[in-house]
Homo-oligomer: A and B are copies of this chain.
Amino acid sequence: MLSGTAEYALRAVVWLARQPDDQSVRASDLAESIGVPRNYLGKILHDLVRAGILESARGKNGGFRLATPPEELTLLRVVSSFDTIGVGAERRCLMGRPECDSSDPCPVHRRWQNASEAISRFFEETTVGDVLSDDRREGRSQADCRW
């Protein structure tokens, strides 16, 4: 469903969101924590900074942290820096037809619509804040996390 890169980004953002007091985390530590290659994660984190999702600080005590309140950060915004999910008007046809909407549908259009809309809603409506709430409700802490 998601590319490896988008998966990594999601892990990183969730991990940073769980950080108490918005503490910055160094790329190396983060890479080890979420099980992503150090150098590759560097690029991903930088992309997230350029997208305005994270902010970074150089030098001693530097690192990365969220630039946005978790409640306002949708999963769509996180993953769409890397993948084209295709929500709303940008929805891609399952069969790869260049034009495909209700007025000129591909053969599976009607039956795919339910699933397609469920996917869109998930990415558009779920925020990183929601994920943190779920965490708390299930009594999960950062220490429990493993990949």
Contact residues of A with B, CB < 8 Å? 1-2, 4, 7-8, 10-11, 14, 75, 86, 92, 94-98, 105, 107-108, 110-112, 114-115, 118-119, 121-122, 126, 130-131, 134-135, 138, 140, 145-147
Contact = CB atoms under 8 A, between A and B. Distances in A.
A111 B96 contact: no
Identical chains bound together, number: 2
A118 B114 contact: yes
Contacts of A112: 122
Contact of A94 (B4, B7, B92, B96): B7
A108 to B, nearest CB: 6
Nearest to A75: B108
27 contacts: A1-B86, A4-B96, A7-B96, A10-B94, A10-B95, A10-B108, A11-B95, A11-B96, A14-B108, A96-B147, A97-B146, A97-B147, A107-B134, A107-B135, A108-B131, A108-B134, A110-B134, A111-B126, A111-B130, A111-B131, A111-B134, A114-B118, A115-B115, A115-B118, A115-B119, A115-B121, A118-B118
